[in-house]
């Protein structure tokens, strides 16, 4: 169960990071609210998962999922350029996250 919660909280990390970027310095209401809610859910999930998972592993997986999710969303919406190299590097992060699960 901790792994499922960790993955979901990693997705919410991507949500709050994206919302923070769109909040224009926390001056736009809707993105700021999404940022705050996403941050709370993401941190609570990470904290819960860390009760059973090693801190380093949990944090690396959480950050990896959040980073890949944030960049993937940005590329899908055109906010960031997509390239083969970027996609391969993101797949490398995914492989590392999967590897951490496999060895745990």
Query: What number of helices (H) and strands (E) belong to the chain?
Result: 4, 0
Contact 16, 38 (CB under 8 A): yes
- What string of pLDDT tens digits covers the 104 residues of the chain? 999 999 999 999 999 999 999 999 999 999 999 999 999 999 999 999 999 999 999 999 999 999 999 999 999 999 999 999 999 999 999 999 999 999 87
Domain enclosing residue 97, as ranges: 2-103
Contact 45, 7 (CB under 8 A): no
pLDDT recorded at residue 63: 97
pTM: 0.92
3-state secondary structure of 26: coil
Number of domains, the chain: 1
pLDDT recorded at residue 54: 96
């Amino acid at each position: 169960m901790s792994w499922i919660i960790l993955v979901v909280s990693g997705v919410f990390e991507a949500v709050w990071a994206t919302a923070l970027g769109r909040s224009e310095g926390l001056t736009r209401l809707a993105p700021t609210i999404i940022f705050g809610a996403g941050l709370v859910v993401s941190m609570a999930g990470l904290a819960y998962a860390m009760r059973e998972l090693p801190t380093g592993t949990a944090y690396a997986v959480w950050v990896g999922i959040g980073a890949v999710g944030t960049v993937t969303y940005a590329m899908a919406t055109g906010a960031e350029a997509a390239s083969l190299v970027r996609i391969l590097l993101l797949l490398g992060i995914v492989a590392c996250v999967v590897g951490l699960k496999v060895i745990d």
